[in-house]
Amino acid sequence: MAACQRRRRRRQATTATPFRSSSPTDQARSTKAQPIKGRYMKLTMKLALTAMFSGASLIAVAHATDLRVAPVMLEPLPGQRSTTLTILNGEDKPVRVQVRVMRWTQVNGEERLEPTMDVVASPPQTQLQPGQHYLIRVVRTARTPIPNEESYRVLVDEVPDPAEARPGAVAMVVRQSIPVFFSDENHRVSIVDWSVARRGDRTEIVAHNRGSRRLRLSDIVVEAHDGPFYEQSGLVGYVLPGATMRFPIDIGATSLADPTLHLRGVSDTGKLEVMLVDPPR
C-alpha cells in the first residue's frame, strides 16, 4: 500500500506513569498528570468512593485537591537503602494523606501490587497544613541481597474529611502511584526480546525482559517499508526484569510477516529501534 494511501493511527498516552492491564497500577495512569511549577506532579486521578441511595442518582463533588508530589520516580543509588518523597499541599485548607508501599510485579502480562514490609514509608499518615511541604522517607528494611532490580510503588492517597461529607454525594479523592527501584549494582541492564502477535482481535507488541533492570517505553512509532502507520505519545509502559508485557497497537491490515515491520521509541536509556519480525533465513 502506498504511503499516501495508508492512514496513520495515533494514540495519545493518558499519563506520565503507566500501564496496560486492569490492575491497580492502571489506576495511576488513567488520567493525565501534568507538571506543576516544573517540579511537582498534580494528583489528578480521582477515585470515586461509591455512595448509593434509593431513588436518586449519584452526584459528584466538583473539587480536585491540589496535592502535589516530587519526584515522579524514586531510584536510590546502588546500595542505598532509603530515599525521600516530597508532598506539597496546594490547598487553602488542611489535607490528610496516607502513604503506603506495595511490591510491584508483572505476571502473565498483568500488573500486580501486593502488600510488603520489605520497603516502608515513614510516616505512613500525616496532615499537611495549607502550603506545607512534607518529606516522606521510603526505606528498604529488608537486608537480603538484590539479585535483580526490585520494583515497588509508593501510593499517596488523600484521606477524605468526614466533616465535608454530603448526603447523596460521591467523595472525590486523589491517588498518585510513584515507582521505586532498588538495586545493589550499578551496571544492571535491560535485555528485551521484541515481537508482534495477534491475540483474538487485538494486535500487540510483545516485550520479554531477560535483563536485570526494568525498561521504560514511551513515544513509540510502528513502521513498515512505506512509512509509519501507528504512533503513541507519552508513556506506553514498563517491562520489569524477567517479565513479559503486551502493548496493544492498531496496525490495520498490515501483515505481521512483513520483514520491514519495526518499532521506534524512547527507553529510559535512550532512543530505541528494533525489528518486530525475524528476518527470513
Check whether 268 has a pLDDT greater than 50. Answer: yes
What confidence score (pLDDT) does residue 59 get? 38
| Non-local CB neighbours of 277 within 8 Å, separated by 6+ positions | 195, 196, 256, 257, 258, 259, 260, 261
Predicted confidence at residue 172, as pLDDT, reads 67
| Lowest mean pLDDT, pick from 120-124, 132-136, 173-177, 217-221 | 173-177
Task: Examine residue 123 and say whether the peptide bond preceding it is cis (omega within 30 degrees of 0).
Answer: yes
pLDDT at 11: 60
Q: Which one has a higher pLDDT value, 4 or 229?
A: 229
Question: 78 with 135, same domain?
Answer: yes
Which residues span the domain enclosing 221? 9-16+189-275
Does residue 164 sit in helix, strand or coil?
helix
Query: What is d(CA 129, CA 265) in angstroms, rounded to the nearest whole number?
Result: 42
The predicted-structure confidence for 66-116, as pLDDT tens digits, reads as follows 889 999 999 999 999 999 999 999 989 999 999 999 999 999 999 999 999
- CA dist 66 and 88 (Å) reads 8
For residues 154 and 85, the answer to whether their CB atoms sit within 8 Å is yes
Asked whether residue 272 carries a pLDDT value surpassing 80, the answer given is: yes
CA distance 33 to 15: 6
* Three-state secondary structure call for residue 63: coil
- DSSP code per residue over 98-116: EEEEEEEEEETTEEEEEE-
163-218: pLDDT as tens digits: 776 776 666 677 899 999 999 988 789 999 999 998 888 899 999 999 999 999 99
pTM for the whole structure: 0.76
Which CATH number fits the domain that encloses residue 54?
Answer: 2.60.40.10
Domain end marker among 182, 198, 229? 182
50 within some domain? yes
Phi then psi for residue 237, to 5 deg, are 160, 180
The residues, any chain, with a CB within 8 Å of residue 213's CB and separated by 6 or more, are: 148, 149, 183, 188, 189, 190, 241
Domains identified in the chain, total number: 2
Is 2 within a domain? no
260 with 163, same domain?
Answer: no
pLDDT at 160 over 80: yes
Q: Which has the closest alpha carbon to 71: 29, 16, 118?
A: 16
Quick one: pLDDT at residue 280? 57
Same domain, 130 and 261: no
Name the DSSP letter for residue 27: H
Of the pLDDT bands very low, low, confident and very high (cuts 50, 70, 90), residue 143 is very high
